[in-house]
Amino acid sequence: MKFLKHILIPILLVSFVLSAGCSPKQQGSIIVGSKDYTEQFIMGNILALYIEAHTNFSVTLRDNIVTHVIFAAISTGAVDVYVEYTGTIYGSHLRRSGSSDPDEVYDISARELMERYDLRILDPLGFNNTFGLAMRTETADEFNIVTFSDLAEVSSEFIFGGSAEMIGRSDGLPSVQRVYDMNFKATIFAEEKDRYTVLMNDDAQVIEIHSTEGMLAVHDVVVLEDDKNVFPPYYGVVIIRNELAEEHPELIELLDKLSGTLTDDIVRELNYRVDVLGESPRDVAEAFLRDNNLI
């Protein structure tokens, strides 16, 4: 049933998002997208509130969209702009590999996105939300595990818990397993809100983490060192349809002002406020914009 769920939901989302792109958009409207986890809910609201505050666009926010669907949506015009990550563009959308240099990954991503899809990425927002693996401190200490290479030596004794994307994407777990010759006893699906629960309940001994997630501050976990740099850098960037950018250069000038405003620590704090303190992504996004004199 879980497997069926992970197949059906993306199909339904593809149908919804792409069908939405088939109807003509109202003149002066802009559709902001976001993916299906806390950080993206916040980023989507930051973009939507920021554009709404400084332009005459009628802004619609479409959130909770998985990675491959939102990329299909912006490629077909069903979404106009959203926050993506350089490593995801490089590894997942462009199917590239071989570099962990932030500047090279950005340059290749920017050039090939424009050439292949007529999409533009702006300067990095400032934070790097890379993938990672974490274990309970007690377990890591017991097996003397500090790095991915250490884990590979005993991975067959452990169960891995991660999202459907992490388990299935070429730049996710398959890449880790290939580079490190890592083979887990089993893998189980554990989306963002469930990962720490399965770890603390010992249903999985290794979980996927993201380096800017707020829950890292709550649990006694060790984030393992990716000693072979299998994960490329995942700097947050605004991705926008080039057609829209050319029609409204003032929009690019506006969005460029967000570049460099979000550090790892800031984003981790924003995520913490939603995931741990229970604030809404919209309220957290609006507070960030106001605190930094962006609206």
Q: Does 228 fall in a domain? A: no
Q: Does 266 fall in a domain? A: yes
Residue 181 pLDDT: 96
Nearest to 289, CA basis, from 32, 35, 51, 39: 51
Query: Do 49 and 195 sit in the same domain of this protein?
Result: no
Q: Which domain holds residue 270?
A: 2-128+233-291
Mapped onto helix, strand or coil, the DSSP state of residue 252 is helix
Mapped onto helix, strand or coil, the DSSP state of residue 266 is helix
Q: Does 103 fall in a domain? A: yes
Which conformational region is residue 181 in: left (phi greater than 0), alpha (psi within -120 to 50 degrees), or beta?
left
The three state secondary structure string of 42-102 is HHHHHHHHHHHHHCCCEEEEECCCCHHHHHHHHHHCCCCEEEEEHHHHHHHHCCCCCCCCH
Beta-bridge mates of residue 140: none
Query: Do 258 and 116 sit in the same domain of this protein?
Result: yes
Would the pLDDT of 10 be above 90? Answer: no
Query: Do 240 and 193 sit in the same domain of this protein?
Result: no
Q: Does 143 fall in a domain? A: yes
- Residue 126 is given by DSSP the state S
Domain finish residue from 196, 223, 250: 223
Domain finish residue from 176, 191, 223: 223
Query: Do 63 and 119 sit in the same domain of this protein?
Result: yes
Whole-number Å distance between alpha carbons of 278 and 272: 9
Strand order across the 131-136 sheet: 186-189, 159-162, 206-210, 131-136, 221-223
Residue 201 pLDDT: 95
Quote the Cα angle for 215-158-221, to 5°: 25
Residue 89 pLDDT: 95
Residue 16 pLDDT: 47
Query: Do 148 and 11 sit in the same domain of this protein?
Result: no
Query: Do 122 and 135 sit in the same domain of this protein?
Result: no
Domain finish residue from 202, 223, 244: 223
Query: Do 39 and 112 sit in the same domain of this protein?
Result: yes
Query: Do 164 and 215 sit in the same domain of this protein?
Result: yes
- Residue 279 is given by DSSP the state -
Query: Do 112 and 16 sit in the same domain of this protein?
Result: yes
Average pLDDT rounded to a whole number, residues 129-137: 94
Indicate which CATH number applies to the domain containing 161. 3.40.190.120
Counting the structural domains of the chain, the total is: 2
Query: Do 247 and 160 sit in the same domain of this protein?
Result: no
DSSP-derived pairing of the beta strands 119-121 and 236-241? antiparallel
Q: CB 56: neighbour CB atoms within 10 A?
A: 6
Quote the Cα angle for 30-31-34, to 5°: 145
Q: pLDDT by residue (tens digit) across 153-207? A: 999 999 999 998 889 887 789 999 999 999 999 999 998 778 999 999 999 999 9
Query: Do 204 and 144 sit in the same domain of this protein?
Result: yes
Q: pLDDT by residue (tens digit) across 237-288? A: 999 999 999 999 999 999 999 999 999 999 999 999 999 999 999 999 999 9
Question: b/e per residue, 150-160, with b = 16+ CB within 10 A?
Answer: bbbeebeebbb
Average pLDDT rounded to a whole number, residues 145-149: 98
Indicate which CATH number applies to the domain containing 18. 3.40.190.10
pLDDT confidence tier of residue 223, bands split at 50, 70 and 90: very high
pLDDT confidence tier of residue 217, bands split at 50, 70 and 90: confident
Q: pLDDT by residue (tens digit) across 93-124? A: 999 888 889 999 999 999 999 999 999 999 99
Indicate the average pLDDT of the chain. Answer: 90
**Cβ-Cβ contacts under 8 Å for 47 (sequence gap 6 or more):** 32, 81, 82, 83, 238, 255
Percent of the chain past pLDDT 70, that is, above it, reads 91
| pTM score, whole prediction | 0.82
Query: Do 240 and 181 sit in the same domain of this protein?
Result: no
Would the pLDDT of 41 be above 70? Answer: yes
